[in-house]
Amino acid sequence: MRIIDDIEQQIQQSEAGTLFFVSDFAKTGNDVFISRVLSEFADKGLLCRLAKGVYYKPIETRYGILYPDVVDIVKAIARRDNAQVLPTGEAAQNMLGLSTQVPMNYVYLTSGSARKIEVGPRTVTFKRCVPKNFAVKNEFLAVLIQAMKSIGEDRMTDQHRTIIKGLLQQNLPIETFEQDLKVAPIWVRKTIWNIAKEIEK
């Protein structure tokens, strides 16, 4: 069937690790039909199933098949759902280098649907939240605030502050700096302000 051939050709021409959703092929048929086709391709090994309605083209190495990067998966789902996402906890710390430990459980706030996806031994959880959680306009500051909140005021070390200082030096000036800090916890706001003032000296 021509529709199936077209879908297969699109997959074959894509790069290894590319994610595919049923909605990617909306113009070629109804969702039920597309779901069945993608499922059959997964059974044949052309695709791997990541979650319901989410597939990826295998990344084949001599060590076996690798999963796509978690951040790439999250970004693709956010684009598909036209949703905002924000890493929290260990995911935010790791993204900024405030922790070298690779999380086993990634937690993201989302303006889209809540869901949980298994990526090999890791879990990616999307938690639906109220819009005010996305009030911080600058993406770097939004992640930094979440990372610091997860570390906690009592567990902030000189090493953390040194890393944050380096990050601020790379990202300042930020147009929405003052406005964004207003929605941060008081101790987070004061810490970032004090470090920023050190940089200005």
> How does pLDDT run across 82-114, given as a tens digit for each residue?
999 999 999 999 999 999 888 999 999 999 999
> How does pLDDT run across 112-143, given as a tens digit for each residue?
999 999 988 899 999 999 888 899 999 999 99
If you search the block for the tokens 């994610």, which residue do you land on? 19
In this predicted structure, the answer to whether residue 20 has a pLDDT above a threshold of 80 is yes
**CATH architecture for segment(s) 2-65:** Orthogonal Bundle (1.10)
**Beta carbons of 164 and 122 less than 8 angstroms apart:** no
**Beta carbons of 19 and 79 less than 8 angstroms apart:** no
Residues near 9 by beta carbon (within 8 Å), at least 6 away in sequence: none
Pairing label, strands 105-110, 122-128: parallel
> How does pLDDT run across 150-201, given as a tens digit for each residue?
999 999 999 999 999 999 999 999 999 999 999 999 999 999 999 999 998 6
Q: What does each C-alpha distance from 30 to 12, 34, 37, 80 come to in angstroms?
A: 21, 6, 11, 17
Please tell me which residue, 68 or 156, carries the higher pLDDT value.
Answer: 156
Q: Where in the chain is the domain with CATH 1.10.10.10?
A: 2-65
> How does pLDDT run across 22-35, given as a tens digit for each residue?
888 877 668 888 99
Confidence at residue 1, expressed as pLDDT on a 0 to 100 scale:
65
For residues 72 and 74, give the distance between their C-alpha atoms in angstroms, rounded to a whole number.
5
- Closest residue by Cα to residue 72 from 88, 45, 95, 104: 95
